[in-house]
């Protein structure tokens, strides 16, 4: 099997979806990527980078708006016959046994029952589920259900195995065990697939599994960089070489791209600088941790100490940086004077500092606060802001943006939200100041 053999060629692929307001939401932009035999490729990126959309485009489940996807030189116009997919949510049929679930794809191909049974039992045994052929999904743990997902994909003997965050729904130990077993199977002769492409937001997972990591930027998804992982298997996370690759990928995910111009939070619109999906308590906790380490800390070290992935902490980093409580340099987090004051002040002073920073540096919070101050009575429906946000975000992301802004605004006592009426209301003290200013004008 030659590594130069291109199984799937993605050429200048862009993908857009129609927004609710009839506008275009571009998810992928000008993606060019070859997936070759004999390699594992990780698609690594943050939320909004279009990782799963790209994977489904490779599978032929989603057609590109422009560009092409070719399997062994033939352009796809439907499902890719050379791929099989493992999903994050297992996607098993609950009324079917393990064996029946594994046989599903073979039945769809018209394989005879006797041959289906033989191939399914071989795949079940290979993936470590021998003895559970007659069990139903409800009888299995999460890890065992995902094994069924692997067996169901591998029994098809695809050229390219596609995996969409297959370990993210599992507990840490189960996920680590499955990753190790997958790499053991990959190293064996007779593994029934020629290449693997895995979507992940987990930096260490990408370094542990992949021969090549494709780093995607967001909004819209595009390729920022490709990083080769020239480490022998099995890979030891404790080595300097492993740490160096993790740091390199971390820098790529958090740093600005060459030539990129990002508006400062104080000047940006809510769509140009979206709010990170972070709670006040979460970002405040991160700031406190950095303060406790002398106002400077290595994020991978923090993640390892508290038992989270680096990627889980990135929204907190983005939120604290947006509010100027810390900044990122050389892979380290550095507390700013504002961050140090915020974390050492008493509760009331800390809330005042947060209010000042959020009103000035969180674009959506600032927009809501200004709109409420300009309204007749300091009240506006949340739906007003949601409709505006949907012009630049998907419905789900628009709701997430509004939820985060309300969380930050409530904590800062800038405004409040009534769940029953759907009204956002300017804080009485701010409304009194606004009314006084109008009266004197």
Q: What is the pLDDT of residue 199?
A: 93
Q: What is the pLDDT of residue 430?
A: 64
Helices 337-344 and 280-292 cross at an angle (nearest 10°) of 100
Predicted confidence (pLDDT) at residue 93 exceeds the cutoff of 70: yes
Phi, psi (degrees; rounded to nearest 5) at 440? -85, -10
pTM of the shown model: 0.76
What would the pLDDT profile of 227-270 be if each residue is shown by its tens digit?
A: 999 999 889 888 999 988 988 888 888 776 666 666 788 888 89
Q: How far apart are CA 174 and CA 382, in angstroms?
A: 41
Predicted confidence (pLDDT) at residue 434 exceeds the cutoff of 80: no
Q: How far apart are CA 112 and CA 81, in angstroms?
A: 19
At residue 18, the 3 state secondary structure works out as: strand
What would the pLDDT profile of 61-90 be if each residue is shown by its tens digit?
A: 999 999 999 999 999 999 999 999 998 887
* Cβ-proximal residues to 268 (8 Å cutoff; 6+ apart), any chain: 262, 363
**pLDDT above 90 coverage of the chain, percent:** 56
Q: What is the pLDDT of residue 396?
A: 80
Q: Please give the average per-residue pLDDT across 110-122, as a whole number.
A: 91
* Cβ-proximal residues to 347 (8 Å cutoff; 6+ apart), any chain: none
Q: What is the pLDDT of residue 20?
A: 57
Q: How far apart are CA 380 and CA 276, in angstroms?
A: 23
What would the pLDDT profile of 259-316 be if each residue is shown by its tens digit?
A: 666 678 888 889 888 999 899 999 999 999 999 999 999 887 888 788 777 777 888 9
Among residues 169, 132, 170, the alpha carbon closest in space to that of 148 is found at 132
Q: What is the pLDDT of residue 329?
A: 78
What mean pLDDT, rounded, does the chain reach?
Answer: 88
- The residue with greater pLDDT, 434 or 133, is 133
- The residue with greater pLDDT, 312 or 382, is 382
**pLDDT above 70 coverage of the chain, percent:** 93
What would the pLDDT profile of 174-215 be if each residue is shown by its tens digit?
A: 888 889 989 999 998 888 999 999 999 888 899 999 999 999
Q: What is the pLDDT of residue 440?
A: 54
Evaluate whether the domain defined by 6-254 bears CATH number 3.30.70.20. no
At residue 288, the 3 state secondary structure works out as: helix
Phi, psi (degrees; rounded to nearest 5) at 140? -110, 150
Structure tokens at 424: 């956002």
Q: What is the pLDDT of residue 257?
A: 64
Q: What is the pLDDT of residue 215?
A: 94
Q: Are 49 and 221 in contact (CB under 8 A)?
A: yes
Whats the size of the chain, residue-wise? Answer: 441
Question: What one-character DSSP code corresponds to residue 375?
Answer: S
Q: Are 160 and 194 in contact (CB under 8 A)?
A: yes
Question: What one-character DSSP code corresponds to residue 196?
Answer: E
Predicted confidence (pLDDT) at residue 159 exceeds the cutoff of 80: yes
Predicted confidence (pLDDT) at residue 401 exceeds the cutoff of 80: yes
The helix or strand, by DSSP H or E, that contains position 75, with its residue range, turns out to be: strand 74-75
Q: What is the pLDDT of residue 1?
A: 47
In terms of DSSP bridges, do strands 212-217 and 40-45 run parallel, antiparallel, or are they unpaired? parallel
Q: Where in the chain is the domain with CATH 3.40.50.300?
A: 6-254
């Amino acid at each position: 099997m030659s590594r130069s053999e291109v199984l799937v060629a993605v050429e200048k692929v862009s993908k857009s979806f129609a927004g609710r307001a009839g506008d275009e939401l571009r998810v992928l932009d000008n993606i060019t990527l070859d997936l070759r035999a004999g390699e594992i490729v990780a698609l690594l990126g943050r939320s909004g980078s279009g990782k799963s959309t790209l994977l489904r485009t490779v599978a032929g489940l989603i057609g590109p708006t422009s560009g092409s996807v070719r399997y062994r030189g033939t352009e796809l116009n439907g499902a890719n016959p050379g791929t099989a997919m493992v999903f994050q949510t297992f996607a098993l049929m609950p009324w079917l046994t393990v064996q029946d679930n594994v046989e599903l794809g073979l039945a769809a191909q018209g394989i005879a029952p006797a041959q289906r049974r033989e191939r399914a039992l071989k795949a079940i045994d290979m993936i470590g589920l021998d003895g559970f052929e007659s069990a139903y999904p409800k009888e299995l743990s999460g890890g065992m259900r995902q094994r069924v997902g692997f067996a169901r994909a591998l029994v098809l003997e695809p050229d390219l195995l596609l995996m969409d965050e297959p370990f993210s729904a599992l507990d840490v130990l189960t996920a680590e065990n499955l990753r190790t077993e997958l790499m053991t199977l990959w190293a064996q002769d007779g593994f029934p697939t020629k290449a693997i492409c895995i979507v992940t937001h987990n930096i260490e997972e990408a370094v542990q599994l992949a021969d090549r990591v494709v780093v995607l930027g967001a909004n819209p998804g595009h390729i920022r960089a490709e990083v080769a992982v020239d480490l022998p298997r099995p890979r030891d996370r404790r080595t300097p070489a492993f740490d160096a690759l993790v740091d390199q990928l971390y820098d790529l995910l958090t740093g600005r791209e060459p030539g990129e111009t990002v508006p400062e939070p104080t000047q940006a619109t809510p769509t140009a600088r979206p709010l990170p999906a972070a709670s006040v308590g979460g970002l405040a906790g991160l700031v406190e941790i950095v303060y406790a380490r002398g106002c400077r800390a290595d994020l991978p070290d923090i993640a390892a100490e508290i038992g989270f992935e680096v990627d889980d902490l990135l929204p907190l980093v983005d939120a604290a940086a947006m509010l100027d409580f810390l900044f990122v340099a050389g892979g380290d987090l550095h507390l700013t004077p504002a961050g140090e004051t915020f974390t050492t002040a008493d509760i009331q002073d800390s809330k005042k500092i947060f209010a000042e920073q959020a009103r000035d540096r969180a674009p959506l919070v600032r927009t809501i606060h200004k709109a409420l101050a300009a309204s007749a009575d300091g009240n506006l429906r949340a739906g007003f802001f949601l409709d505006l946000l949907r012009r630049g975000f998907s419905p789900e992301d628009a709701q997430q943006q509004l939820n985060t802004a309300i969380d930050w605004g409530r904590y800062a006592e800038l405004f409040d939200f009534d769940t029953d009426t759907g009204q956002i209301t300017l804080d009485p003290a701010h409304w009194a100041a606004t009314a006084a200013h109008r009266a004197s004008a």
